[in-house]
């Protein structure tokens, strides 16, 4: 059978040139030049031909093969370029399009109140210090004039970690830590988290925040405390508030008092948040007890000062109108997203 290489070549050329994509091109290439391809078959059959035919057809077949290989390469490049162009079009980025808005987190109301309170005290010249949450019995109790077996220890239901260490029940130990290392006069505040082993209700948590204050000098009196208290409440609430000082007892102050604020939630009428009292207990305070000065080797005849420990959670309740302290620790986004 005569081999019509010219027709085969033309047919293959047209097929390659009209391939629409790389896969199709590859299939056509293999149909002619693959292992079982039509042109490959011609090349394989050369052995069965006479010498003259072999020279003649072999030359033509090789030329056709080279020609088709070139066309294949060219078409492949064209199709690749075309595919790149199409995918670039598809992946086009509009750099002017407005971005997707990321949802921003919120600062927790307790963080907000702590920052605000600290800022106000800093404006009044108070330095900010910190102390550890795990405390020794000495700093939490003994140095604050509450020796072992003293009934006042029952004022603070304690999470003991072992016979010597505990989770601090108030921020007052920071007073001792600071005074041990610094000489008066000074004024400091110490915000921090504290822990109490007690039942919870609308205004009691087992872990909550306090802000300790301590001002020591030669002539610091309760009148200074009252002035600072008034400035603080004025600035934090930016509205008139009703405050009252009640005589109280703390082993580390003498005299001692507690500061109440008329409950914002019921305006003094009595509600579940304030235990129907109409007043919320906001802080304990007093003039530093001479025994505390002695514990840190200050001369009580020379120095005097006031100290206070305010409950930051209760301050946040009153500032933001939150009826239950437990809401601060519930992690409910509906509450947090309001801040
Ligand atoms: C003390 O912790 C004293 N260290 C305060 C003090 C410091 C007195 C310096 C004198 C000199 P008290 O236990 O009363 O005191 O707590 C102080 C304030 O913390 C309270 O007035 C109240 O606002 C808040 N508080 C007390 N217990 C809780 C509780 N379980 N949950 C939330 N807040 C509380």
Q: Using CA atoms, how far apart are residues 23 and 28, in angstroms rounded to an integer?
A: 9
Residues with CB under 6 A from ligand 1: 170, 172, 196, 198, 204-205, 208, 210, 250, 253, 281-286, 307-309, 311, 313-314, 325
Nearest to 156 by CA among 204, 212, 91, 102: 204
| Strand-pair partners of 286 | 256, 307
Can you tell me the mean pLDDT for 324-334?
Answer: 95
Helix or strand (DSSP H, E) at 25: helix 22-33
Q: Which of 91, 121, 137 is the last residue of a domain?
A: 91
pLDDT in tens, 16-28: 999 999 999 999 9
Q: Which of 91, 124, 159 is the last residue of a domain?
A: 91
SS3 227: helix
Can you tell me the mean pLDDT for 106-128?
Answer: 97
Q: Which of 91, 118, 139 is the last residue of a domain?
A: 91
Q: Are 198 and 208 in contact (CB under 8 A)?
A: no
Q: Does residue 104 fall inside a structural domain?
A: no
What pLDDT score was predicted for residue 283? 98
The whole domain housing 55 covers 5-91
Q: Check whether residue 186 and residue 128 sit in a common domain.
A: yes
- Ligand 1 atom closest to the Cα of residue 308 is 9
Q: Check whether residue 154 and residue 11 sit in a common domain.
A: no
Q: Does residue 130 fall inside a structural domain?
A: yes
Q: Check whether residue 84 and residue 145 sit in a common domain.
A: no
CATH number at residue 319: 3.30.930.10
pLDDT in tens, 182-225: 999 999 999 999 999 999 999 999 999 999 999 999 999 999 99
Q: Does residue 100 fall inside a structural domain?
A: no
Q: Using CA atoms, how far apart are residues 328 and 324, in angstroms rounded to an integer?
A: 8
Q: Are 28 and 13 in contact (CB under 8 A)?
A: no
What pLDDT score was predicted for residue 154? 81
Q: Does residue 193 fall inside a structural domain?
A: yes
Number of domains in the chain: 2
Give exposure, 184-203, as e/b (b: 16+ Cβ within 10 Å).
bebbbbbbbebbbeeeeebb
Distance 332 CA to ligand 1 centre (A): 26
Residues 6+ apart with CB under 8 A from 102: none
């Amino acid at each position: 059978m005569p081999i019509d290489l010219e027709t085969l070549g033309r047919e293959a050329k047209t097929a390659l040139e009209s391939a629409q994509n790389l896969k199709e091109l590859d299939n056509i290439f293999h149909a002619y030049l693959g292992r079982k391809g039509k042109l490959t078959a011609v090349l394989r059959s050369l052995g069965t031909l006479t010498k003259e035919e072999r020279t003649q057809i072999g030359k033509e077949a090789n030329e056709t093969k080279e020609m088709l290989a070139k066309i294949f390469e060219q078409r492949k490049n064209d199709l690749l370029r075309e595919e790149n162009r199409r995918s670039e079009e598809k992946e086009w980025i509009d750099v002017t399009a407005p971005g997707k808005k990321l949802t921003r987190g919120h600062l927790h109301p307790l963080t907000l109140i702590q920052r605000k309170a600290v800022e106000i005290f800093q404006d009044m010249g108070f330095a900010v210090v910190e102390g550890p949450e795990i405390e020794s019995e000495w700093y939490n109790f003994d140095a604050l004039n509450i020796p072992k077996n003293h009934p006042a220890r029952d004022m603070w239901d304690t999470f003991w970690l072992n016979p010597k260490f505990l989770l601090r029940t108030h921020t007052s130990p920071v007073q001792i830590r600071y005074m041990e290392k610094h000489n008066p006069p000074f004024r400091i505040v110490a915000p921090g988290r504290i822990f109490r082993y007690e039942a919870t209700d609308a205004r009691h948590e087992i872990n909550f925040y306090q802000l300790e204050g301590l001002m020591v000098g030669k002539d610091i009196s309760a009148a200074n405390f009252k002035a600072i208290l008034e400035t603080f409440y004025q600035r934090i609430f930016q509205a008139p508030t009703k405050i009252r000082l009640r005589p109280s007892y703390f082993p580390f102050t003498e005299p001692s008092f507690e500061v109440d604020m008329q409950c914002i939630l019921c305006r003094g009428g009595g509600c579940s948040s304030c235990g129907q009292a109409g007043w919320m207990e906001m802080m304990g305070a007093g003039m530093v007890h001479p025994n505390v000065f002695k514990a840190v080797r200050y001369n009580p005849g020379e120095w005097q000062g006031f100290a206070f420990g305010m409950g930051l959670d209760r301050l946040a309740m009153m500032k933001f109108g939150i009826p239950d302290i437990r809401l601060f620790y519930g992690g409910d986004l509906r509450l947090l997203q309001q801040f």
